[in-house]
């Protein structure tokens, strides 16, 4: 039987070389003219899919691949993949945990530092020649000694907490279950938001966390508070976030993720108190290479002996 895989989204040349070494045929969805015809003609032969956190696997694709055995995801978040259907069909879903902890944590911390020190404002001040004309730029606020609440103290959340020790932060956290750590646990997210300077959101996306950061939480964070979101846009009620910033009920926001990427609410684009990034939390050469290697390693191992290195928890028993 020929080994055929489907690539959804892009892949680096290094990944393409690995796919070519492991499979007889690599179908690239991005190069397909008519998706319906392609799926009808080729669907039966495809046993493996490589995809990313944004595209996942759409229901029509899942349905059109009756012999699918493995979905290898590029990214740790897999909310765009229907794991219930995968488990029911015995399809293993894998993801890329841990290899990106450091990078995503760096992104969260850098956004926090940027917002406190107003480096984007100050950099623009120099470029616009205002230093010459207007003299010294206005001063900013110190990021040191802040109380930081982490919503989702998992692999990345703990890495963020460790990095913030260098800034003498007091760390508190909220998740569904308390962990064996020295940080103070809050069972109530709104209460935690009221007690912190900065709320960093780093839970998974999906229905369980949908709009967890709502109007009440944003109000509790308050006019001096900072919201950083490096998880998924769905975790924050984006319309309420915009309103809170517009009405001065929330002070600052650092956003790497949005509800309907790549769409960013128009109102945010002109706000000086927000930092907006195009979902680049893990986007460095080094980390993306490690993620790509893990995507390929999962496929290679599966082809060899039917096991995988990093299945998502729902598929660990398969
Ligand atoms: P993880 O180790 O599974 O940690 C997730 C944490 O969220 C856990 O502490 C979990 O604790 C908590 N959590 C889950 N559901 C919750 C809920 N309903 N309410 C409150 N807390 C909840 O995951 P990770 O590896 O740190 O990754 C986290 C997420 O970051 C990913 O799923 C992905 O969406 C996002 N991410 C974004 C980027 C980016 O580029 N911006 C990059 C990588 C990852 P409990 O189970 O105890 O609740
Ligand atoms: C990736 C991510 O940018 O790991 C995740 O969950 O969101 C990011 O690392 C994304 O998965 C690639 O599409």
CATH number of the domain that residue 243 is part of: 3.40.50.720
Tell which atom from ligand 1 comes closest to the C-alpha of 230. Answer: 41
C-alpha triplet 236, 100, 231: angle, nearest 5°: 5
Q: Which ligand is nearest to the CA of 9?
A: 2
Whole-prediction pTM: 0.98
269 lies in the same domain as 224 = yes
* Spacing of C-alpha 95 from chain mean position: 12
Number of CB atoms found within 10 A of residue 4's CB: 19
* Residue 243 exposure: Cα atoms within 13 Å on the Cβ side: 10
Question: Would residue 281 count as lying in a domain?
Answer: no
Residue 100 structure tokens: 């990106």
Question: Would residue 88 count as lying in a domain?
Answer: yes
107 lies in the same domain as 199 = yes
Question: Would residue 114 count as lying in a domain?
Answer: yes
209 lies in the same domain as 128 = yes
Of 32, 73, 31, the residue nearest 54 (C-alpha): 73
**Which residues face 174 on adjacent strands?**
151
114 lies in the same domain as 95 = no
Binding-site residues, ligand 2, Cβ < 6 A? 52-54, 74-77, 100, 279, 281-282
122 lies in the same domain as 92 = no
| Domain assignment of residue 87, given as a range | 4-99+286-315
Residues annotated as catalytic are 232, 261, 279
Tell which atom from ligand 1 comes closest to the C-alpha of 282. Answer: 40
- Å from CA of 221 to ligand 1 middle: 20
Alpha carbons 299 and 318: distance in angstroms, whole number: 15
CB 37 within 8 A of CB 59: no
Burial of 190 (0-12, 13-18, 19+ CB in 10 A): middle
Phi first, then psi, for residue 4 (nearest 5°) are -125, 135
Digit-by-digit pLDDT tens for the chain (318 residues) are: 789 999 999 999 999 999 999 999 999 999 999 999 999 999 999 999 999 999 999 999 999 999 999 999 999 999 999 999 999 999 999 999 999 999 999 999 999 999 999 999 999 999 999 999 999 999 999 999 999 999 999 999 999 999 999 999 999 999 999 999 999 999 999 999 999 999 999 999 999 999 999 999 999 999 999 999 999 999 999 999 999 999 999 999 999 999 999 999 999 999 999 999 999 999 999 999 999 999 999 999 999 999 999 999 999 999
């Amino acid at each position: 039987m020929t080994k055929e895989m489907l690539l959804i989204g892009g892949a680096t040349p290094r990944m393409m070389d690995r796919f070519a070494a492991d499979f007889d045929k690599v179908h690239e969805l991005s190069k397909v003219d008519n998706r319906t015809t392609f799926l009808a003609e080729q669907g039966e032969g495809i046993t493996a899919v490589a995809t990313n956190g944004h595209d996942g696997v759409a229901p029509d694709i899942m349905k059109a691949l009756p012999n699918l055995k493995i979905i290898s995801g590029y990214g740790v978040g897999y909310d765009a993949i229907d794991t219930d259907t995968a488990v029911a069909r015995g399809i293993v879903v894998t993801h890329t945990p841990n290899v990106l902890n450091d990078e995503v944590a760096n992104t969260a911390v850098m956004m926090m530092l940027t917002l406190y020190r107003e480096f984007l404002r100050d950099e623009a001040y120099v470029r616009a020649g205002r230093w010459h004309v207007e003299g010294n730029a206005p001063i900013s606020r110190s990021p040191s000694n802040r109380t930081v609440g982490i919503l989702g103290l998992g692999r990345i959340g703990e890495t963020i907490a460790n990095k913030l020790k260098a800034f003498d932060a007091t760390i508190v956290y909220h998740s569904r279950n308390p962990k064996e750590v020295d940080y103070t646990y809050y069972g109530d997210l709104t209460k935690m938001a009221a007690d912190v300077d900065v709320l960093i959101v780093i839970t998974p996306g999906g229905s369980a966390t949908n709009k967890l950061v709502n109007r009440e939480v944003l109000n509790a964070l308050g006019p001096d508070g900072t919201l950083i979101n490096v998880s998924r846009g769905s975790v924050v009620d984006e319309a309420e976030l915009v309103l809170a910033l517009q009405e001065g009920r929330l002070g600052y926001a650092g956003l790497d993720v949005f509800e309907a990427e790549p769409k960013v609410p128009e109102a945010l684009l002109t706000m000086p108190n927000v930092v907006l990034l195009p979902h680049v939390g893990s986007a460095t050469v080094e980390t993306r290479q490690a993620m790509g290697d893990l995507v390929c390693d999962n496929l290679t191992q599966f082809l060899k002996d039917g096991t995988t290195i990093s299945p998502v928890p729902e598929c660990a028993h398969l």
